[in-house]
Amino acid sequence: MLKQKHTNPNIMQRPRQMQRLLFLLLAQLLKVVFCDTNEGPEHERRHGGPTLGHWTYTDQDWKKDFQQCEGKSQSPINIETSKTMFNKNLPKIILEGYSLPETTSLNLTNNGHTVKLTLPDSMSISSGFSQKYLAAQLHFHWGSVSSSGSEHTVDGTRYAAEMHVVHYAAKYGSLSTAALEADGLAVLAVLFQVGPNDNKNYNHIFDKLQDVSEEGVIVQIPGFDVNTLLPRQLYRFFRYNGSLTTPPCFQTVTWTVFNDTIQLSKAQLHKLETNLKTGHHTLDSNFRFVQPLNGRKVFASFSATLASRRMVTKEDTAESGGDDKSGSELREPNAYSTHSGDTLAIIFGILFGCTVLVFVIYVLRQRKRRSLNTESGQKVIYKPTTTMEA
């Protein structure tokens, strides 16, 4: 189902249909992936009601207009930590070019569904996947003044809000092309919790929210270090295959949900929850409900059991001086059994070696004795050895 694509080989033989389909597809993509909504309130007024392709968070029955939204690998999901599978082979995530010079100019937009910051493709995930992904944009999902609004939930807990940093596979050249390919998109998700202090790193964006209050407005903000928006512990994350959480719900996203959360103050969250408008209404609670897992696996780059983490961290710090923290985290759950396994292997190895040696000596002695007994002449040369052994 992840291989599912929007285009069909048969269509290639019918150029006109293909063109129309491609056009529709591109329109949807431009609208949703790039978040440039053509169908604002004006459009609705002109046509006297909601148009095809218009969608809201209040009515999430999106499958009527967007077939893929009823697929079997949809996002977001509830991450049940006890059912996640520790996978020590998940590569460490390394971000490149995230520290943007102030001379860069970034567009901040209210597209009626979210507030979105466009990112230059000089920013990338250089390691973490089997291929390179380039950044396209980041945006937020939030609740209301009285309720949480993250999209992913962890063990049933909905966090205050969530940020998505959207990347596309470099080999596909553009976000719109990549969005149609099974391995096309990689989204990094950060969950927010309420903390006592303002998180200054987010003021680059939050100080401008008032300026993009009206749907469709774009303002420019100078470049800053986007690393500071992400958790410090990038090596602790959940990984699963899913979809865009907005129509057209393409199932082409490899999700990375960081285990470490970021704190925002109540006042900062309040800005997100009250400053933006969709049409004439407050843009809030812009999260999609969690979707069924349908047998999908959710991997964890780290051991989910706090107890073993504590034990192993202590041990590994003693061993390695604690400089290879991520490495030790990734080895976590098996570290203990591996160590005791090593010891066992050595003991058995020695025992086995001894047994073989004794057996070989025994066989040699038997053979020499036999050869001494049955043959004379040549074989006598073995005699000194035999005597030495004895």
Catalytic residues: 113
CB of 159 to Zn ion, least distance (A): 14
Q: Is 161 in the site for ligand NAG (CB under 6 A)?
A: no
Distance in angstroms (rounded) separating the CA atoms of residues 123 and 200 = 22
For Zn ion, the closer CB: 90 or 185: 185
The neighbouring-strand residues paired with 335 are none
Q: Name which position in 2, 125, 209, 249 contacts ligand NAG (CB under 6 A).
A: 2
Minimum separation from the CB atom of position 225 to ligand NAG (A): 23
Residue with the shortest CB distance to Zn ion: 164
State which residue, 2 or 212, has the beta carbon closest to ligand NAG: 2
Query: Please, are residues 154 and 290 in contact by the beta-carbon 8 Å criterion?
Result: no
- When the beta carbons of 151 and 316 are compared against Zn ion, the nearer one is 151
The stretches of 123-215 forming alpha helices (DSSP H) are 175-178, 203-206
User: Binders of Zn ion among 150-209, rule CB under 5 A?
Assistant: 164
**Residue 164 interface partner, choices Zn ion, ligand NAG, none, CB cut-off 5-8 Å depending on type:** Zn ion
Count of residues touching ligand NAG (by CB under 6 A): 13
123 vs 161 by CB, closer to ligand NAG:
161
Q: In 99-257, where does DSSP find H-type helix?
A: 175-178, 203-206
From the CB of 260, what's the least distance to ligand NAG, in Å? 7
Give whichever of 6 and 164 is closer to Zn ion, judged by the CB atom.
Answer: 164
Closest by CA position to 321, among listed 329, 313, 311: 313
Q: Which pairs with CB-CB distance under 8 Å and at least 24 residues apart come from 291-295?
A: 291/74, 291/75, 291/76, 291/77, 291/242, 291/243, 292/72, 292/74, 293/77, 294/72, 294/73
Q: What is the 3-state secondary structure (H, E, C) of 220-242?
A: EEECCEHHHHCCCCCCCEEEEEE
Binds 180, which of Zn ion, ligand NAG, none (CB < 5 to 8 A, cut-off by type)?
none
Give the three-class secondary structure for 181.
Answer: coil
Among 117, 154, 169, 244, binds ligand NAG (CB under 6 A): 154
Contact set for ligand NAG, span 94-153 (CB under 6 A): none
| Residue 47: CB minimum distance to ligand NAG, A | 40
CB-nearer residue toward Zn ion: 90 or 187: 187
Which backbone phi and psi does 292 adopt, to 5 degrees?
-65, 145
Helical (H) or strand (E) element with 263: strand 262-265
Judge contact between 231 and 260, C-beta under 8 A: yes
Q: Which amino acid is residue 204, in one-letter code?
A: H
57/46 Cα distance (integer angstroms): 22
The listed partner (Zn ion, ligand NAG, none) that binds 239, CB under 5 to 8 Å by sort, is ligand NAG
Q: Choose the contact partner of 2 out of ligand NAG, Zn ion, none; CB within 5 to 8 A by kind.
A: ligand NAG
SS3 call for 315: helix
Q: Among the candidate windows 113-121, 168-176, 238-246, 318-326, which touches ligand NAG by CB under 6 A?
A: 238-246
Which residues ranging from 243 to 282 are in contact with ligand NAG (CB under 6 A)?
259, 261
Residue number, 239 or 288, with CB nearest to ligand NAG = 239
Could you tell me which stretch among 6-14, 53-61, 216-224, 235-243 binds ligand NAG (CB under 6 A)? 235-243
For 112, half-sphere exposure in the C-beta direction (CA atoms, 13 angstrom radius) is 19
Given candidates 140, 240, 250, 287, which one binds ligand NAG under the rule CB under 6 A? Answer: 240
Closest contact distance (angstroms) between CB of 235 and ligand NAG is 13
Nearest residue to 244 via CA among 89, 43, 33, 51: 33
CA–CA distance from 163 to each of 117, 181, 226 (Å)?
11, 23, 12
Q: How far is the CB of 164 from ligand NAG (least distance, A)?
A: 15
The least distance separating Zn ion from the CB of residue 164, rounded to whole angstroms, comes to 4
Q: Is the peptide bond before 76 cis (omega within 30 degrees of 0)?
A: yes
Subset of residues 165 to 224 that bind ligand NAG, contact rule: CB under 6 A:
191
Residues that bind ligand NAG (CB under 6 A): 2, 81, 154-155, 191, 239-241, 259, 261, 297, 299, 304
Residues that bind Zn ion (CB under 5 A): 164
